[in-house]
Amino acid sequence: MLKRVDSDWLRDINRRRVLREVRKVRAVARVDIAEATGLSPATVTVVANELIERGLLEEAPAEAEGDRRRGRPRVLLRLAPGALRVAGVKLAEHRISVTIVDFSGETVGESETAVRTRSQPLDALVGLIEDNVRAAAKQARIRPRDLAGIGIALPGYVDAMTGTAWWSPVLAEPEVNLTRLLEGRFPCPVFADNDANIATLAELWFGLGQGVRNFTVVTVEHGVGMGMVLDGRIRRGARGLGAELGHMKVALDGAPCRCGQRGCLEAYVADYALLRRASPILPDIDLADPARRREGLAALTTLAHQGSAEANAIFREAAAMLGLGMANLVNIVDPGMIILSGTRFRNELLFSDIMAKTLKENSIPFGPPGPEIRTHVWGDLLWTRGAAALALEGLFDDTLFGLQSVRGEVQLTGA
């Protein structure tokens, strides 16, 4: 009994270890998998052959000449691109975007619709998401029912464990479960998570976080978000809402935030906060309109570059507050790397020496050096790639090997 029951479970674990290693390195020899995972070469061979049979891995000849000179040609293993395809959906205030990626992470289909998401009745919004997934599948030359999973990225407070969006600026109603609504329209599992965790998964699966055990991702768009990987896995906390760096308080009874509280980092750093402070020099900007906010921020940046003392003071204060918030990240979570992700990091006025100096002056001064700070400008690809990573993560963890039963008991941390 002992042997039979638990050997299945063990084989599942070993399959996942091998798959994760291949995913991490992209193309890798069996012997190197054994070395990296600590599994015996014999175990790796057995498991790898089974994964090839199931169509998840494929063999590829080593490209480098050098390998052949050292002995017989090495055969590398890589993810079989056609093994499965997932759809990543991004809901923004003014757009729905869908990208379909294959198992190796390549984009094979895309679709998008410009729409004021929040103005749509829920049923119409779900219909638009469905239409875009179908259009992207058509471009990818697959049937919608061939999708292995769908991931949805949206801003706001989202419980990734249940898929419930408690509040989101792209939804007209509170407490919406998009995953359940979409699972009525596609036969595959659907997952949802907030923007910042999506960005974190994008880094973990496809970006700078591959193989890094402790890192956090900070995103600055309309708001400020973060996600954290500790000991190799994304951590979302007790309520599954993820970390809310944007609503970390950097001052007691400080500036009012759009969330209704005071002193939030967002109330000093987000675009609406910068423009609110800029109203004496840039009046008449409609803060509710994303396009006008973008124009306003461009104008404020131009003023700063032209030497406006007021404009430069606004950016300096925001940069210092951002440095303070990031220092608190270091003081609480102690990441090995902070990845600044998103498009706003192109703004060198905000992500400036002042931010770096404030960060250094306010974080733990003892022990080994603090985290490496890296900037990663993905463009729009970030969100749909990340949403696809969410679907892959959901599949890896639960569905791909039918592992529901071990959830919460054993986990792989090699990520």
Does 155 contact its own copies by CB under 8 A?
Answer: no
Q: Which stretch binds its own copies (CB under 8 A): 91-99, 197-205, 246-254, 349-357?
A: 246-254
Size of the site for its own copies (CB under 8 A): 80
Contact 199, 386 (CB under 8 A): yes
Given candidates 74, 233, 316, 376, which one binds its own copies under the rule CB under 8 A? Answer: 233
In the region spanning residues 60 to 99, those forming contacts with its own copies, defined by CB under 8 A, are none
Given candidates 49, 279, 375, 405, which one binds its own copies under the rule CB under 8 A? Answer: 405
Q: Which residue has tokens 């069996």?
A: 30
CA nearest to 15, candidates 55, 46, 58, 61:
46
Report the C-alpha dihedral over residues 200, 202, 207, 208, rounded to 10 degrees.
0
Does 402 contact its own copies by CB under 8 A?
Answer: no
C-alpha radius of gyration, the chain, whole number? 23
Does 114 contact its own copies by CB under 8 A?
Answer: no
CB of 311 to its own copies, least distance (A): 20
CA separation for the pair 18, 13 (Å, rounded): 9
Q: 239 CB contacts (<8 Å, ≥6 apart)? A: 159
Does 329 contact its own copies by CB under 8 A?
Answer: yes
Q: Which stretch binds its own copies (CB under 8 A): 31-39, 91-99, 291-299, 390-398?
A: 31-39
Q: Which stretch binds its own copies (CB under 8 A): 68-76, 185-193, 357-365, 382-390?
A: 357-365
Does 238 contact its own copies by CB under 8 A?
Answer: yes
CA separation for the pair 165, 320 (Å, rounded): 32
Q: Which stretch binds its own copies (CB under 8 A): 109-117, 179-187, 199-207, 236-244?
A: 236-244
412: which 2 tokens? 């792989």
CA separation for the pair 32, 309 (Å, rounded): 57
CA separation for the pair 67, 32 (Å, rounded): 14
Rounded to the nearest 5 degrees, what angle is found at the Cα of 397, between the Cα atoms of 15 and 193? Answer: 150
Q: Closest CB to its own copies among 80 and 327?
A: 327
The phi, psi pair for 46, rounded to 5°, reads: -60, -50
CB of 381 to its own copies, least distance (A): 27
CB of 30 to its own copies, least distance (A): 14
Q: Which stretch binds its own copies (CB under 8 A): 259-267, 281-289, 291-299, 382-390?
A: 259-267
CB of 365 to its own copies, least distance (A): 7
